[in-house]
Amino acid sequence: MTTAASLGPMPRMDGPPEPELVHIRDVIYRAAGIFHPDNKLRLLQDRCGRRMQELKLQTLRQYLECLTTHPQRQAELVALLNEITIGETCFFRNQPQLDALRHVVIPNILQAKSNLPLRRLRIWSAGCSTGEEPYTLRMLTLEEAGGQLKDWSTEILATDLNERSLAHAQQGVYGDYSTRHLAPSYRSKYFVPLDDKLQVNAIARSNISFTRLNLSDDSRMTFMKSMDAIFCCNVLIYFDLASKRRVIQHFFNNLLPHGYLFLGHSESLYGVNDDFRLVHLPGATAYVKGERVLAGGKSR
Amino acid sequence: MTHATATKQVLLQRLEGLRQIPTIPAVLAPLLRYLQQPVEHLDVQKVTDLLSQDKSLAAQCLQMANSPLFGRAQSSQSLRGAVVSLGFHRVSDIAMSCGVLNMLPRDKTGLDPVVFWEHSLGCALICRHLAAKINFSDPTKAYLAGLLHDLGIIVNLWVLPKEFRTAWETAKAGGIPLHEAEQKCMGFTHCDSGRLLAERWKLAPELIEVVSFHHAPEKSVDHTGLVSLVQLADLLCRMSSLNHGYVEKRAVNLREEPGFALLSQHSTTLKEFDWARLTFELDSYMDEVHSLVRAIYRT
């Protein structure tokens, strides 16, 4: 892995970042696979600041030591990751990723399956938390129901380890924060008002199944077969390398040959798995299985 | 004769009477020639004087020199200060970048010149960044190669604006690469027209190959490494917001590109390279490039 020291000059907001902050960025990337580019370093500093306040630490150097040499460093890393991902969950969280799904990935999948008798699209939201992601995916496929997904059935499988999160997801009631990126047309089409909140309506709930699943449960993971696309955003960052490798291998086995794996924004599989290949989509990245020519692969 | 072949002939005819295409600003040629000398022969005052001859170019250079994209720790108020702290090599990169900007027509119908310049500048920066990270054998040429790779688009914008606009709109509507649409609509691509201009300008042989083959690095003869580096950097730009002003609807696996295998011969670390991290790092570049280009274009 390339270290920060070897990088060329990089953009920054106001002066060079503190070396300790760059080091913390690298610690997080190595341990959790989530990367903070230079224009997000201030955000990372803010998150570290919250932890430092909690721990009553004065300097980033002290906090770096806490993350690297302290006996409780693993627990501290988890606490920092919680700060980093807090408030991440909302509808239409990663618009470029969703646009790429709609305009590139789904057409590629449909083309790959065009000769099969069963016209079915299966998408798995692995680690769906309180449900915003699977409902977003459902709304997106419903928008295409009269277009490219005409005559296709869509199944969304939504799984999470946390029962309380799953109960929230099944209830489908959301406040302003979760719905902040929701376009007015989606609000009216797929939600009904409930007090001062919004509840997902019956159309957007259709064809989604919510199930409790531990991604480390090898016997159950084996049965999540025939997926066209898997979304697993900001979930694997909490796994140690060995567990992460096992989960990724299950994803690999469960995806159909043309399938796509999506991770969170700035989340990487580097050093975790050699079978998946990184692909660049417009404004987003994803992973596909092995070496093969994708649609448009001959164009340069 | 097909429509496309007819257009290619028109291109050749119009290129013959090349008066419409602006050349590199007059001040740049002597400056770049001067900067090609060994560093120990260079004089800061002479470089500053040469740049100062064109006030608008000097102002643009100072603006770029103060961008974090060029590694400045502190902003400089004077051109001389910028030359001292950036070094001659970066000054040459910056001056050439401003030169390309000044060659663009101001017509914003079709491919917006601002968007084109963002793409060129972005590609130059990514080439430089990538070359450094993969220990590319000749990193000093990377920036200029990235900057000039789409020279043919400037030719097309000046010489066949209507036909090029149709090609660009076709590419945008289909979400396909621009060179495919050019081939379909005009019978040639910006690689062909760029080559004509690059040869006329007597650019360095490696730059002529980059301009001609950055969509087909396997056709490159003597400079496959550099051409391949540009091919991959260009793809990364086109899949990001530093594209040609529209979204290409496709999935790109860089490892399957011919440039990847060819570049591997010029870099020992490419096979293990962390492309995901590079892609995330580029997020910062994109923001900076957009704001820098817009600021300069207003001046």
Specify the pLDDT at position A201.
Answer: 97
* Separation between Cα atoms, residue A120 and residue A128, nearest integer Å: 21
Give B69 or A76, the one with higher predicted confidence.
Answer: A76
CA distance B20 to chain A (A): 30
Strands across the sheet containing A120-126: A208-212, A153-160, A120-126, A227-232, A255-263, A284-289, A276-281
**Would an 8 Å CB–CB cutoff place A6 in contact with chain B?**
yes
CA distance B189 to chain A (A): 13
Lowest pLDDT segment from A1-10, B153-162, B276-285: A1-10
Given the structure tokens 């341990």, which residue do they identify? A31
Inter-chain touch A104–B250, beta carbons under 8 Å: yes
* Separation between Cα atoms, residue A261 and residue A276, nearest integer Å: 9
With H, G, I as helix, E, B as strand and everything else as coil, classify residue B175: coil
pLDDT in tens, B132-151: 999 887 777 899 999 999 99
Inter-chain touch A11–B176, beta carbons under 8 Å: no
DSSP state for residue A103 in the 8-state scheme: I
Would you say B86 and B65 are in contact if contact means Cβ atoms under 8 Å apart? yes
Would you say A134 and A184 are in contact if contact means Cβ atoms under 8 Å apart? no
With H, G, I as helix, E, B as strand and everything else as coil, classify residue A183: coil
Would you say B161 and B185 are in contact if contact means Cβ atoms under 8 Å apart? no
What is the pTM for the complete model shown?
0.89
pLDDT in tens, B83-114: 887 888 888 888 888 888 778 887 767 788 88
Query: ipTM of the predicted structure?
Result: 0.88
- Could you tell me the pLDDT band of residue B51, with boundaries at 50, 70 and 90? confident
| Other beta carbons within 10 Å of B37 | 11
User: Taking all residues of chain B, what is their mean pLDDT, rounded to a whole number?
Assistant: 86
pLDDT in tens, A199-228: 999 999 999 999 999 999 999 999 999 999
Alpha-carbon separation of residue A220 from A134, A213, A247, B258 (angstroms): 20, 8, 11, 41
CA A166 to chain CA mean position, Å: 17
Handedness of CA A20, A25, A28, A30 (dihedral sign): negative
User: Which of chain A's residues have a Cβ under 8 Å away from the Cβ of B70?
Assistant: 9
CA dihedral B177, B182, B184, B186 (to 10 degrees): 180
Inter-chain touch A300–B258, beta carbons under 8 Å: yes
Inter-chain touch B132–A8, beta carbons under 8 Å: yes
Q: Does the pLDDT at position B16 exceed 80?
A: no
Token reading at B101:
């900007």
**Would an 8 Å CB–CB cutoff place A3 in contact with chain B?**
no
